[in-house]
Amino acid sequence: MKIILVPMISFVIFSRYTDAIVMKKVILTAATSKGAVCLDGSPPGYYIRTGTTSPNNWILHQEGGGWCFNEDQCVLRSKTDLGSSKGWPPNVTYSGLLSDDCTVNPDFCGWSMVYIGYCDGASFSGNVENPVNWKGTTLYFRGARILEVVINAVLEAAGDNIEHIILTGCSAGGLATYLHADYVRSKVPSQIPVHAIADAGYFLDAPNVNGEMHIRERYQYVYKMQNCTGGVNQDCIAANPTEEWKCFMAQYTYPHITTPIFLLNSRYDTYQINFILQLHCHAPNCSTDQMKEFMKYGNEFLVAAAPAITSKSNGVYIDSCQIHCQSLKEIPWSKFIVGGQTMRDTFNAWLTNSTAMKSKVVDCAYPCNPTCLLNS
C-alpha cells in the first residue's frame, strides 16, 4: 500500500542560543558593493571570538538551516534570520566544538572561533548575477559571494600568524563543509594546515518510503535556481558534466575532496528519516513496516558513506542515535560513545594522527547504543 506523505518542510531554524562561548557579531556592510548579500539584499556577516591559549588556530563554522527548495520558499525564508541579517542578535553562544569550557572541549577551548551566518538558502553555493523578482519580492542568490567575502574578512582578521584552520558546519552547513573544503584550502598558503569536520551534512540521494526520488528533484531545482555550478567542488563538476547537480550532494562530492575531512553523522539522522525517507515516526514508536524502513535506511547510509568509511586518510564517526547535528551540543560531543570513544576524542585522534585511539568508528545498528539515551 502506498503511504500518504505530508508536505516536506523547506528549512529548519536552528537556535543561535545554546550555552557557553560568547561570540560578537560582525556585519560586512561593504560586501554589498560586491553583490555579496543575503536573500533579502541585507549584508552578510559572522560571529567571532578570539582564542585564549591558541589564538592563531581557527575554527570556522558554517551555520545550518536547510534550504529553500523553490522561489516561494525563498520568499518566506527571506523574511527570517535564515534569509536576512537584519534581525541577527549582537552576540551568540555555543557549546560542543565551539565551547570555551575545557571540560567539554579540551582540545579546542582556547582556539579562535568564527560562526558564519547562513542567509542564502543554498549552502553558500549560489551565484545569480541579476536579482530575481518573484511575485513582487526581490531575491538575491549570492551564497558563493557571501562565503568569499566572509573567508577574506576572517583571514584578514587572523593576520599573518594563522597556524591552523578547521572548517566545519552542521546540517546545511555540514553539506557546505563538503562542498567548500577545497575552496577554503585554496584561500590560504599551502604551509598552513586545513582540516574539515562535516556534521550531519551527508544527505543521501535516496528514495522515500514510496520509492520516489523526491529529495533528488528538490536538490536539482535548488542547484539550477541558484546557479550553483561555480560555487561547488570543481573537480566534481568536471567528473559529472551532464549531471552537475550531483555536486550539490555530499555522497557524490566526497570522492573529489582533497582536503582532509572527517565525517560526523548519525546513520539514523532525524532530518533524513523525516524529510528524505519521509518516515514520520520515532523509533521504537513505529509500526513493524515502518521499523523495517527505518533499519533499511540505516544500512543504506552505511553503503553511501562507504568512500569515507574505507578512506585510508579521512576520519569517520557514525553513531546510531536518533539526532541531527551533534558537534555543537555538549552531550553528543563529549558523552556519546561508539567503539569506546567519544566523537571529540575520535576527531582529535584523527586530527593529530594519534595512535592512542581509533580515528574511524562506526556504530552498530539501532538500538545497540545506550549512550544515545543521554540526549533524550
In this predicted model, what pLDDT tens digit does every residue of 255-287 receive, in sequence order?
Answer: 999 999 999 999 999 999 999 999 999 999 999
pLDDT, the chain, mean: 94
Count of domains forming the chain: 1
Q: Is 168 domain-assigned?
A: yes
Residue 1, domain member (yes or no): no
pLDDT score of 226? 98
Tell me the CATH number at 349. 3.40.50
Percent of the chain having pLDDT more than 90?
93
| pLDDT above 60: residue 12 | no
Predicted confidence band of residue 361 (pLDDT cuts 50, 70, 90): very high
Q: Are 34 and 145 in contact (CB under 8 A)?
A: yes
The answer as to whether 368 is a domain residue is yes
Catalytic site residue from 61, 195, 256, 324: 324
> Of 171, 266, 334, 359, which residue is the catalytic one?
171
Does residue 248 lie in a domain region? yes
Q: Mean pLDDT over residues 188-200, rounded? A: 97
The answer to whether residue 7 is domain-embedded is: no
* 16, pLDDT greater than 90: no
Rounded Cα distance between 317 and 145, Å, is 31
- Is 171 an annotated catalytic residue? yes
- 150 is a domain residue: yes
Residue 42's nearest CA partner among 52, 32, 50 is 32
195 is catalytic: no
Q: How far apart are CA 139 and CA 122, in angstroms?
A: 13
Q: What is the pLDDT of residue 22?
A: 86
* Residue 151 three-state SS: helix
Q: Which of 269, 319, 345, 363 is catalytic?
A: 269
Asked if residue 233 is part of any domain, the answer here is yes
Q: What angle do CA 61, 123, 331 make, to 5 degrees?
A: 40
Tell me what percent of the residues of the chain surpass a pLDDT of 70.
94
166 lies in some domain: yes
In contact, 280 and 274? CB cutoff 8 Å: yes
SS3 state at 63: coil
pLDDT tens column, 295-326: 999 999 999 999 999 999 999 999 999 999 99
Helix (H, G, I), strand (E, B) or coil at 347: helix
Query: Structural domain of residue 103, as residue ranges?
Result: 21-375
> What is the C-alpha to C-alpha distance for residues 316 and 305, in angstroms, rounded to an integer?
9
| Pairing of β 111-116 and β 45-49 | antiparallel
Cell of 239: 567528473
Render pLDDT for 58-85 as a digit per residue (tens, 0 to 9). Answer: 999 999 999 999 999 999 999 999 999 9
